[in-house]
Amino acid sequence: MNRKIISSVMIGILLLFGGMVFLLSPWHQSGEEGSLAGLTDGNKSILEIKEPGKGNRPVKTFTLTAQDKKWVINDGKEVAAWTYNGKVPGEALRVTEGDVVRVKLKNDLNVPITIHWHGVLLPNKMDGIPGVTQNAVEPGDTFTYEFIANDAGTYWYHSHQQSSIQVDKGLYGSFVVEEKEKEYERDEVFILDEWAVDQERENLSNMGGMMMGAMSGDSEADTKQMYDTFTVNGKSGNAIKPMIMQAGEKARLRFINAGYQVHRLVFPEGSMRMLEADAEKVKSEDTKSNVLEIAPGERIDVEFTKPEEDAVVIGHEQGVDHADDMVIPVISTNDGKNGQQLAHATGNAAVKGTSYGSEKLIFNKTPNPDVTYDMDLSMGMDMGEGMSFQINNKTFPDTPPIKVKEGDIVKVTLRNEGRMNHPMHLHGHRFQVNAKDGKKLKQPVVKDLVHVKPGEEYEIYFKADNLGEWLFHCHDNNHAARGMVTVVDYEEVYSPFQLGGKEDNHPN
């Protein structure tokens, strides 16, 4: 071939490459500006929705200050984190069911932020979505969140302003609502995450990863490329503190996946039984599996029983890059051995958030829906905006909303036509998963996040019983930032807030 042709082809490839780096970098967000279609009709502002009385319930008060912090993940691995109260994860919040929770957010960062209470059923104006339920909290400002913690379970909180960037940088923490009568004395929270410690690598491989993922069909290639370190409660490998437990001792372990990759944890055989998924109790009669799969954004609680051996580990399934970063040693004495070098157990078939039926259902038989919505999840390549993640071939804020009236029963069929995983999360409601791939589930599951893998289809039902404007989006925040977001839009109410604007409201 002619040398000139070769070099002009090379230049073309380089230009394309360079353009993609710009277009796909996390700082290049698609244009969210103005009011959302459908969110401006309705007679009542979401700020005027009547709230339940708080009576003389106990009030638990917290202050969360968002601030910069150099965070040490492990020796030699330090990141410039954004934190709530100087820690990654942020301050762990614990209350008792029925408490009034009052959290004052103070913003000492130089970017606007919010707090979203992931999984908590609360009034719309406390949901923390900039441009939908509030204005982003500007640097130096404060905002107070207040709601009743009605339902015991494991939750988490995180910023919902530019969440693909802000959650990535550490703006998240656990929120546990304890039962009035606690079943387990020993109760621990573990938040799983991935970090791009080498920031320079991040932008480049973000693009490369997405491209490769799209071409190779690897459903996680985008995030695998981008992140080089796994963490448990902000630490990795031998910096993770072991749990000290005696043989036969039982503990409740609450796992929260704050990252964008699926994590599979391998437990010693016979030591793990699932208790709850997304704060809903499950019927886990079968305890044969020792592998727990946790989707991005998902919470799963298990009962763990310490085996006879002195030291064991709960570790990430092998065969995945950085698996050795994610290991929780469990040892019987604090004698300096930290257990990290122990062999991981080998796993059998994994259990996950939809493996067991829920104890309490919303619908005892398949209801007749008032509203049906087919949600096709797909990937697109738009040369103007880079790679996009679509709902019904549109990207947010142009995605068609799910229009409901208070009291409606809503059926949504989620279908993943792309080649990447989409953990879809609904705010302000729980839904019941009734069918997968066209087949009725023997045991329906109540959740607020369903992990839709490539080719899969789920039928979910929920009751429109919480007036407001509520996001329904992919919890791989990189996908949300590139369009995979829609809104459950109640006819009766409107949002007085705007996307973009001088507040710079960017919910994804």
CB of 484 to Cu ion, least distance (A): 5
Query: Quick check: 254 binds Cu ion (CB under 5 A)?
Result: no
Give the per-residue contact string, 96-135, with Cu ion (x = CB under 5 A; - = no): ----------------------------------------
Sequence-distant contacts of 396-400: CB under 8 A, at least 24 apart: 396/30, 396/32, 396/473, 396/480, 396/483, 396/484, 396/485, 396/486, 396/508, 397/32, 397/36, 397/37, 397/485, 397/499, 398/37, 399/483, 399/485, 399/486, 399/487, 400/486
Q: Is the peptide bond before 130 cis (omega within 30 degrees of 0)?
A: no
Q: Which of 410, 474, 481, 488 binds Cu ion (CB under 5 A)?
A: 474
Nearest residue (CB) to Cu ion, 351 versus 414: 414
Contacts with Cu ion in 65-94 (CB under 5 A)?
A: none
Contacts with Cu ion in 329-388 (CB under 5 A)?
A: none
Query: Quick check: 425 binds Cu ion (CB under 5 A)?
Result: no
Bin 278: left if φ > 0, else alpha if -120 < ψ < 50, else beta.
Answer: left
CB of 8 to Cu ion, least distance (A): 37
Query: Quick check: 479 binds Cu ion (CB under 5 A)?
Result: yes
Q: Which residues 6+ apart lie within 8 Å of 407 measured at CB?
A: 463, 464, 465
Q: Which residues pair with 73 in a beta bridge?
A: none
Give the three-class secondary structure for 224.
helix
Nearest residue (CB) to Cu ion, 245 versus 414: 414
Nearest residue (CB) to Cu ion, 146 versus 376: 376
Choose the stretch contacting Cu ion; rule: CB under 5 A; options: 47-55, 217-225, 363-371, 479-487: 479-487
Query: Quick check: 469 binds Cu ion (CB under 5 A)?
Result: no
CB of 422 to Cu ion, least distance (A): 4
CB of 220 to Cu ion, least distance (A): 10
d(CA 425, CA 24): 24
CB of 296 to Cu ion, least distance (A): 8
**Torsion from C-alpha of 161, 164, 169, 172, nearest 10 degrees:** 60
Choose the stretch contacting Cu ion; rule: CB under 5 A; options: 40-48, 173-181, 300-308, 417-425: 417-425
Whether the CB-CB separation of 290 and 346 falls below 8 Å is answered with no
Query: Quick check: 194 binds Cu ion (CB under 5 A)?
Result: no
Binding site for Cu ion (CB under 5 A): 422, 474, 476, 479
